[in-house]
């Protein structure tokens, strides 16, 4: 099974507790939700989430998404998955707490 990933602060995820879908702020501001392939997650954490506590990593089955999924180039030319609508929670197959290693 192919899995894609989304990083979210735990407190943001909790806002959608009891809801059938999740919406990142980027859905309103950019029209889509940023996702990553497994090998891209570490780079996303380094670029956008340094010193952000209490992060979760959503494991998402793209076959279960109810909105369009597109792979699009980032500013560095790397292709990232984007979903053009809320993420239906039944597509989230695992929620992992991200443990940050501060011993760099």
Q: Which domains does the chain have, with CATH numbers?
A: 4-97 (3.20.170.20)
Q: Phi first, then psi: give them for residue 36, nearest 5 degrees.
A: -145, 155
Q: Determine the average pLDDT of the residues in 84-91.
A: 98
Look at the pTM and tell me if it is higher than 0.85.
yes
Q: What b/e string do you get for 30-62 counting C-beta neighbours within 10 Å, with b at 16 or more?
A: eebbbbbeeebbeebbeeeeeeeeebbbbbbee
Query: What pLDDT score does 75 carry?
Result: 84
CA dihedral sign, ordered 10, 14, 20, 25? negative
3-class secondary structure per residue, 7-42: EEEHHHHHHCCCCCEECCHHHHHHCCEECECHHHHH
**Average pLDDT of every residue of the chain:** 94
Q: Is 70 exceeded by the pLDDT of residue 69?
A: yes
The answer, yes or no, to whether residue 29 has pLDDT greater than 90, is yes
Q: What pLDDT score does 89 carry?
A: 98
What pLDDT was estimated at residue 104? 45
Check whether 62 has a pLDDT greater than 50.
yes
Q: Is the pLDDT of residue 88 over 60?
A: yes
Q: What is the pLDDT of residues 15-25, one digit of tens each?
A: 999 999 999 99
């Amino acid at each position: 099974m192919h899995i894609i990933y989304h990083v979210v602060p735990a407190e943001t995820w909790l806002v959608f507790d009891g809801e059938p879908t999740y919406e990142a702020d980027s859905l309103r501001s950019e029209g889509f939700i940023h996702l990553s392939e497994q090998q891209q997650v570490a780079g996303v954490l380094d670029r956008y989430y340094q010193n952000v506590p209490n992060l979760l990593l959503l494991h998402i089955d793209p076959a279960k998404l109810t909105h369009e999924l597109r792979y699009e180039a980032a500013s560095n030319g790397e292709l990232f998955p984007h979903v053009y609508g809320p993420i239906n929670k039944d597509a989230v197959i695992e929620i992992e707490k991200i443990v940050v290693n501060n011993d760099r």
